[in-house]
Amino acid sequence: MHEIKPGQSIELLKELHILTRDGKMNQDSRRKLKQVYHLYQFIEPLLQKIQHDHNDIVLVDHGAGKSYLGFILYDLFFKALKDDSHIYGIETREELVKHSHELASRLGFGGMSFFNLSVAESMVSGKLPAKVDVVTALHACDTATDDAINFALKKQAQFVVLVPCCQAEVAAVLRKNKGGELAKNVLTELWRHPIHTREFGSHITNVLRCLQLEAHGYQVTVTELVGWEHSMKNELIIASRKNLATKRAAQKLNEVLLTLGLEEMSGRFFL
């Protein structure tokens, strides 16, 4: 039984359709609440670690959509803080940014801001701090997850939390290059059939993302976001900045690209 935690905003839970309009819970809403708490249990310890180091936590959520994740994090953790901690939601759809701004204002969530920016724009925008503590991207589609990683690297984020979504770019390159010289490699059987091309492309994209983060000094953990029933994409990548030795990870990344005929993707994963 997953009951509402003390102090949670009932109005927010209604907005997120976790509670019905009359404040009740049904089987579907209990499942949603379980999912929320399951995701939160991964992120809360990271925020606590930052707290031990310094006050004023800065979190940036990319591909924020309706800022579902940002609002939950603010409600469960940030709103109790008596400092200048802040959550920034970055989203390219202006109407969603406007909706989130209005909801935050209505709820009195003063430590939240929402900007209608692309990731490239957010990297140079004066609206965001030069350095951030946490970067999140929940089901950010296609290359948006990669953009969030690039933002995290530029901003020297302490933690990166990703739930990758659909990714077609690598699969397209695999499909294009599986003939010619690469055809002699038996590994092409891993993606010879179209459905395997899509699935293997998605898998190898996340492998490359992990190697990229490791090459920049992050320690990476990959696990399953259990219970996230509304999405088949339930891989959770958590990266912690450790300033570890990075040369071997970069070599592995390069070797994978070469072995799979993905050399043209090196610009995306080497920064």
pLDDT in tens, 57-91: 999 999 888 888 899 999 999 999 989 999 999 99
User: Tell me, what's the pLDDT at 233?
Assistant: 61
User: Tell me, what's the pLDDT at 120?
Assistant: 84
- How far is residue 181 CA from its own chain's centroid? 36
- Reading across the β-sheet that carries 112-116, which strands appear in turn? 112-116, 86-91, 58-62, 134-138, 159-163, 235-241, 218-224
Asked whether the beta carbons of 221 and 161 are under 8 A apart, the reply is no
- In terms of C-beta density within 10 A (0-12 exposed, 13-18 middle, 19 or more buried), how is residue 144 classed? buried
pLDDT-wise least confident of 1-15, 137-151, 198-212, 219-233: 219-233
32-163 folds as Rossmann fold (3.40.50)
pLDDT at 271 over 90: no
- What mean pLDDT do residues 28-34 have? 76
pLDDT at 228 over 70: no
Question: Cα(98)–Cα(89) distance, rounded to whole angstroms?
Answer: 11
User: Tell me, what's the pLDDT at 226?
Assistant: 67
User: Tell me, what's the pLDDT at 229?
Assistant: 53
- What mean pLDDT do residues 251-264 have? 92
The model's pLDDT over 113-154, given as tens digits with 9 standing for 90+, comes to 999 998 889 999 999 999 999 999 987 666 778 889 999 999
Question: Cα(129)–Cα(191) distance, rounded to whole angstroms?
Answer: 42
Please state the domain extents for the chain: 32-163, 167-217+231-271
User: Tell me, what's the pLDDT at 227?
Assistant: 58
The model's pLDDT over 147-205, given as tens digits with 9 standing for 90+, comes to 899 999 999 999 999 988 777 888 889 888 877 767 778 888 888 898 998 899 989 99
User: Tell me, what's the pLDDT at 1?
Assistant: 39
